[in-house]
A and B are shown apart, each in its own frame.
Chain A
Amino acid sequence: MKRLFCFLALMVAVILVGCGKPDFSDAEKKTIASLALSRLPPLKPDTTNRFADVPAAAALGSTLFFDLGMSRDGTVSCSTCHKIDRQFQDDLPQAVGVGHTNRRTMPLAGVARDPWFFWDGRRDSLWAQALTPLENPLEQAGNRAAYAHYIKARFGERYERIFGPLPDFSGMPLNASPLGTDAEKAAWNAMSGAQRDGINGVFANLGKAIAAFERSIEPAPTRFDRFALDLVAGAEPKGDAVFSKEEILGLKLFIGKANCVTCHDGPRFTDNSFHNTGVPPVAGLPPDRGRIDAVAQVEADPFNCFGAYRDGDASACGELRFMVKDAPQLVRAYKTPSLRGAATRPPYMHAGQFSSLDEVVAHYAKAAPSVEGTSEVHPLELSDRERGALVAFLKTLAE
């Protein structure tokens, strides 16, 4: 009798253990492991920017990133939109600088690992990216000649210690740029080739200093990473690394039936590529065709990898060299954003189209066709419980 009871108890225990433990197949475990932050490889050197890992350059870059003087009217810096205490974004559907822009501010954690920058990838290096808002009339709205004068006046010594002598400023106009107002363009065109090259060189170096600073902005480990570490090590998750049933279901859906991991993959939850996911345009904003219109822009950018201001050799330019230039898949394709920290920084998508993760998941479930081009996502049969579970899982990436 006693033995029988023991046996019964044992069997019940076997059943209970089988039900209670997070239960993942080997394939699922492999995928989960591939998403853990511990799998993030060390940041590669950027040979196109020989100051990328020079501490003095990063320090100057940090100063410039937060400096309101780096704008036409002294009211906007990078950090106006990329706020240090808000994951380097601003919680707005579309960013506001000197004017109201057409896109959402992108968070910057891990950005130095990307091959392309902006929602449409119209720049091919972190340092070339940094030059764009400086001259965009809706963002910092300055011009490169004015920035060069400003640097000489405010940070001349610091600059020269890092980058070497500033060019000769005699006869340089105070305001000039090939992208500015008509007067600034005229002033630019009136400059000699050597003068333009001098200004462009200083301008590129500002980008290189800012990029050196941005390389230090990296994602931090989350509850998901602690859970994944334990799961892979075969250890029982402890403390906040324990996932609820709902979070486990969400994780399983994310890497399984809901197919999220096909695009949101690797430790940063992004494939660094461009996809049309059928996100609707925002009424009232100018037409936005995504990647398809960015191709010509990055090719024309004098600061791209093939341009004169790159350090190192052209072997670093593979992404630009083998870029897809013309394919229907580029229409309304946008860069896959990292999902780390996303739960605590609504709104979502390239122009803040959705105000909550529930709306994002509803969008994927419905998979409405794109207004232009073809969406890559297919409708999903998701119960209310499953939708909630996906959201619960996404929250573990922000805790």
Chain B
Amino acid sequence: MVSIWRYLLAGLGLAALLVGILAVVYLTAPRSAQPAGPDVSRTKKSENGLYMASFVPERGVVRQGELESWLLTLKTKTGASVERAAIAISGGMPQHNHGLPTSPQVTDYLGEGRYRIEGLKFTMSGWWQLRFAISSGAGSDTVLFNVVL
């Protein structure tokens, strides 16, 4: 008699142990492993390979909800600075059906292929895209940057 109770209790104990361990594992596991997001590199080749472009916030950090200026640096394939480029900017949030909340513009050329882009504003967290249509002596090409906040 006694032994049956023992086995039953032991069985229960083991079951509880299992559930307990599962609970511990579940509670401590890292959450919401994000699915691989878009490519957020800040330096890339343009679509047809005419330019190397890099796009960075002028003050180093991105702040949500504020007008910011960013720097777009353009080099040719051979590494020469691209001067006097005409740059058109567009973009938006691909997952939300909307374009940019502001119309950023190139406001200055700083030399060495660096263009100041003012009036950027990321109003929401999420995935933003910025597309630059570039045309210069080296030809016309576009480059797309993803910014994830």
Contacts and interface: CB of A to CB of B under 8 A. Distances in A.
B45 to A, nearest CB: 28
B65 A271 contact: yes
B20 A322 contact: no
A398 interface: no
Given A18-B26, A18-B27, A374-B97, A12 B124 contact: no
A266 B10 CA distance: 53
B99 A329 contact: yes
A18 B23 CA distance: 7
Nearest to A23: B27
Given A322-B67, A329-B99, A271 B123 contact: yes
B119 A321 contact: yes
B100 interface: yes
B67 A318 contact: yes
A353 B107 CA distance: 42
Question: Of residues B103, B104, B123, which shows the largest number of chain A Cβ atoms within 10 Å of its Cβ?
Answer: B123
Contact of A11 (B17, B98, B101): B17
Given A27-B31, A323-B103, A14 B23 contact: yes
A319 interface: yes
B124 A27 contact: no
Interface in B4-60: 9-10, 12-13, 16-17, 19-20, 23-24, 26-27, 31-32, 34
A278 to B, nearest CB: 11
B100 A324 contact: yes
Contacts of A324: 99-103
Question: Of residues A7, A14, A266, which shows the largest number of chain B Cβ atoms within 10 Å of its Cβ?
Answer: A14
Contacts of B20: 10-11, 14-15
Contacts of A11: 16-17, 19-20
A15 B119 contact: no
A344 interface: no
A25 B119 contact: no
A26 interface: yes
B97 A265 contact: no
Interface string A93-136: 00000000000000000000000000000000000000000000
Interface string A202-220: 0000000000000000000
A148 to B, nearest CB: 35
B111 interface: no
Nearest to B22: A15
Given A11-B16, A11-B20, A271-B124, A322 B96 contact: no
B97 A4 contact: no
Contacts of B99: 324, 327, 329
A159 B97 CA distance: 49
Interface in A1-27: 1, 4, 7-8, 10-12, 14-15, 18, 23, 25-27
A376 B19 CA distance: 44
Interface in A256-312: 261-263, 265-266, 271-275
Contacts of A86: none
B139 interface: no
Nearest to B121: A322
Contacts of A327: 99
B83 interface: no
Contact of B105 (A15, A271, A272, A322): A322
A325 interface: yes
B12 A8 contact: yes
A18 B27 CA distance: 7
Interface of A: 1, 4, 7-8, 10-12, 14-15, 18, 23, 25-27, 31, 261-263, 265-266, 271-275, 318-319, 321-325, 327, 329, 374-376
27 contacts: A4-B9, A4-B13, A7-B13, A7-B16, A8-B12, A11-B19, A15-B19, A15-B23, A25-B32, A26-B31, A261-B125, A262-B125, A263-B124, A265-B124, A266-B64, A266-B65, A271-B65, A273-B123, A273-B124, A318-B67, A318-B119, A322-B121, A323-B102, A324-B103, A329-B98, A376-B96, A376-B98
Nearest 4 CB-CB pairings of A with B: A322-B119, A25-B31, A11-B20, A271-B123
Given A263-B124, A319-B67, 4 more contacts: A10-B20, A14-B24, A318-B118, A376-B98
